[in-house]
Amino acid sequence: MVKVKNIHKYFGHLHVLKDLSLDIAKGEVVVVIGPSGSGKSTLLRCLNYLEPVQSGEIWIDGIRLDHHRTNIRAVRAEVGIVFQSFNLFPHLTAIRNVMLAPVVVRRRPDAEVRKEALAMLAKVGLQDKVDAYPSQLSGGQQQRVAIARALAMQPKLMLFDEVTSALDPELVREVLDVMKQLARDGMTMIVVTHEMGFAREVADRVIFMDEGRIVEEGTAEALFERPQNQRTKEFLGKIL
Amino acid sequence: MPQYVQDRLNIYDAVLFLQGLGNTIQLCLGGLGLGLVIALLVGLARASRFRWLSWPAATYIEIIRDSPLLMQLYLVFFALPLLGLNVPIFVAGVAALMLNSSAFMAEIVRAGIQAVAKDQWDAARGLGMGYIQTMRHVVMPQAFRVMIPPGVGLLIGLIKDSSVVSVISYLELTRVGQILTEKTFLSFQVFGIVAALYFIMCYPLSRLALYAERRLKVGG
Amino acid sequence: MHGYVFQFGEIFRELPMLLDGALTTLHISILTLLISLVVGTLGALCRMSRQSWIRVPATWYVEVIRNTPLLVQLFFIYFGLSQIDIDVSSYTAGLIGLTVNNGAYLTEIVRAGIQAIHRGQFEAGYSLGLSFPQLMRYVVFPQAFRVIYPPLCNQLIGIILWSSLVSTISVQDLALRGKELASTTFRSFEVYIVLTLIYVVMTLIVSGLLKLIGRQLFQRPA
């Protein structure tokens, strides 16, 4: 599903991703952990071309991202992303937030999309908040709307960029529950997070990144219980 | 009478441009200088706690801000003779600019004073300083920094506003443009030069205002 | 002021004529605002363009207009057009002058409005697959409009007041009607007092209305 080959990414002179390679199969749930500045968010943002890479190749479902003939909008429609700061559209209600992209990008009829949006919002547990504006919702509710919005485009891949980091602790659980259900339903997911409990429960693979490289990867159990690399051990020591 | 139409601009016209430029600068200096004094008084009144001071000040400011400069100019121009003052039109021009700019300047002064944190007042009063002393040594120096960027903006506005005084036939820069256009019919060239001269006066000031604003943000 | 008796009677008799001029002032002002809004939006997009051949001329346009007087711009256009034998009515010339002038100020207002929008909004929009025009239409402009509404209202008030300068190029607005009345009645001072009052009342009514409209439009919780 996702093939990353030897990518390098620079921000000006800062070498953020160094010769990174990664393969993710369909239906796999991959959790990426690492210290801040390790490049994990950047990696995610490269996967839907919010950030271009300077060298290397990225393939999403058989389509090469930086090829000049690639319709990047079509690719983005197949890749859903949820941000740390939610980025909901404040001038639209929850349901309109969810409906906007399918109606405008896929040009589907309003009534049809509305039915699906209602189902989507019900799936994340917000059937009562359909006509609420983002400012009327809690952080956890906003983030769940953001997930529903991304899911409304029926993506093949979902990216989660530290989606619970900005939430109050008591609101984290509701968002993680939605994500766990998604994983169980077979969605291909790449999740950047600090929530180790989540990783243990649903991750097929955990990747530890540091200073722009993948240092170690393995199953959640293997990485957390028996880390091989020194840096991995240090990082885990600090957070577990 | 045969009408003499000049077909190009000559050296005498250049002198006229310079004269107009000079008169414009004089108008602005006059309007600014006297306007500042009024602005300070009105601004202080507007920021004052006393309703009997802030209310008339606010009304004065509001009326001037809600009426066109052109009207204010004509009012001053026709009012002065009625008051027995038969003054040259330069004075009418300066008076109108002074009244107009003082209202906007007063708002800048008010905003500057109110931008100084209330704690400063508490500290100064706590040290035993009176109102005037606090104003002079503590508040105004700090307020002054805040007033510079909008103040420069006001100066730019004043330079542009002075063009309106042309309607009472004072020989400032825009009036020179009108006269030369009548003489030569070369309006693009004439008003092009007039515009360029205003631009040369105003543009450096806008860069200065930007610079001052940036430095203000950094200084904190 | 000995011997001068204020006579407002003659002026109040001609009030309908003056109010007709006020109507001209109002509709040239509103037209100016609407067209300038379009110009300003285009200008803002040009100013933010990454292509310097688009961005630089737009920047120069804004700087030249903002650093030269409106009166000079009006004369430049009015006399300039007749110099190259283009025949337009005073009203049209005045409208063009006012629009070119306000377009520059609106460019900056709209640009500030768009830049006030959090970057994440753009990212979210693009990530959902929206194109640039779609992003602008559904995400950016609705939010930007809320930000630009107050300065836009101020700008309209400014236009109404400064439109008085079109009287110098023979547009039959409130200012010119007043000037004509002053020359026929010789009661200049009274005439200009009444004119000033009419402008103040117009301004207060318009800003009051705009505030009401604003409250209606922006009902949703901020």
List, for residues A7-63, the tens digit of each pLDDT value.
Answer: 898 888 889 999 899 999 999 999 999 888 888 999 999 998 888 888 888 988 888
Instruction: Measure C19 CA to nearest chain B CA, in Å.
Output: 16
Q: How far is C138 from chain A (nearest CA, A)?
A: 8
Q: Do C196 and B185 touch (CB under 8 A)?
A: no
Mean pLDDT, chain B, rounded, equals 87
| Mean pLDDT over each residue of chain A, to the nearest integer | 89
Query: Which positions of chain C have pLDDT values less than 70?
Result: 1-4, 219-222
Q: Do C200 and B72 touch (CB under 8 A)?
A: no
> Are the beta carbons of B74 and C192 separated by less than 8 Å?
yes
Cα B30 to Cα B35, B41, B159: the distances in Å are 8, 17, 11
Residues of C in contact with B21 (CB under 8 A): none
> Which residues does chain A have within 8 Å of residue C130's beta carbon, measured at their own beta carbons?
73, 101, 104-105
Instruction: Identify the band that residue B1 occupies on the pLDDT scale cut at 50, 70 and 90.
Output: very low
Angle at C168 between CA C167 and CA C172, to 5 degrees: 25
Domains and CATH numbers, chain B: 11-219 (1.10.3720.10)
Residues of A in contact with C126 (CB under 8 A): 50, 76
Chain A residues 130-189 within an 8 A CB cutoff of chain C: 133, 135-136, 146, 149-150, 153
What order of strands is seen across the sheet that includes strand A55-60? A14-24, A2-11, A55-60, A63-64
Q: How confident is the model at residue B4 (pLDDT cuts 50, 70, 90)?
A: low
Over residues B107-135, the mean pLDDT reads 82
For residue B16, give the DSSP letter: H
Tell me the percentage of chain A whose pLDDT exceeds 70: 100
Tell me the three state secondary structure of residue A188: strand
Across the strands, what pairs with A210?
A213
Give the contacts of A66 (CB within 8 A, at least 6 positions apart). A49, A52, A53, A57, A58
Q: A10 in helix, strand or coil? A: strand
Query: Could B66 and C68 be called an inter-chain contact, meaning their C-beta atoms sit closer than 8 Å?
Result: no
Q: pLDDT tens for residues B9-49? A: 777 788 899 999 999 999 999 999 989 989 988 888 888 88
Sheet holding A29-33, edge to edge: A79-82, A157-161, A188-192, A29-33, A205-210, A213-218
Our CA angle for A132, A133, A139, nearest 5°, is 95
Asked if the Cβ–Cβ distance from C199 to B71 is below 8 Å, we say yes
pLDDT on residue A133: 92
**Which amino acid makes up residue A200?**
R
Residue B7 has pLDDT above 90, yes or no: no
Question: Distance between CA B174 and CA C165 in Å, rounded?
Answer: 13
pTM of the model: 0.83
Chain A adjacent subunits, 3+ CB pairs under 8 A:
C
> Which architecture characterizes domain C9-217 according to CATH?
Orthogonal Bundle (1.10)
State phi, psi for A130 to the nearest 5 degrees: -60, -40
Compute the average pLDDT of residues B126-132. 79
Q: Do C68 and B166 touch (CB under 8 A)?
A: no
Residue boundaries of the structural domains of chain C: 9-217
Say if CB A205 and CB A217 are below 8 A apart.
Answer: yes
Neighbours of B205 (CB within 10 A): 15
Cβ–Cβ below 8 Å for A50 and C118: no
Q: What is the mean pLDDT of residues B136-162?
A: 89
Would you say A29 and A203 are in contact if contact means Cβ atoms under 8 Å apart? yes
Handedness of CA B8, B10, B16, B19 (dihedral sign): positive
Nearest CA in chain B to C70: B160
CB contact under 8 A, C129 and A153: yes
Is residue B66 within 8 A of residue B104, CB to CB? The reply is no
Tell me the backbone φ, ψ of residue A16, rounded to 5 degrees.
Answer: -90, -40
Mean pLDDT along residues B145-165: 93
Q: Provide the pairing of β-strand A188-192 with A157-161.
A: parallel
Do chain B and chain A touch with ≥3 beta carbon pairs under 8 Å?
A: no
Candidate from A74, A87, A135 with C-beta closest to C123: A87
Q: Please state the ipTM of this predicted complex.
A: 0.89
List Cβ neighbours of B184 (8 Å cut-off, separation of 6 or more): B5, B6, B7, B8, B9, B13, B190
Of C66, C83, C195, Cβ closest to residue B188: C83
Binary contact (B71, C192; C-beta < 8 A): yes
Using 50 as the pLDDT threshold, list the residues of chain A that sit under it.
none
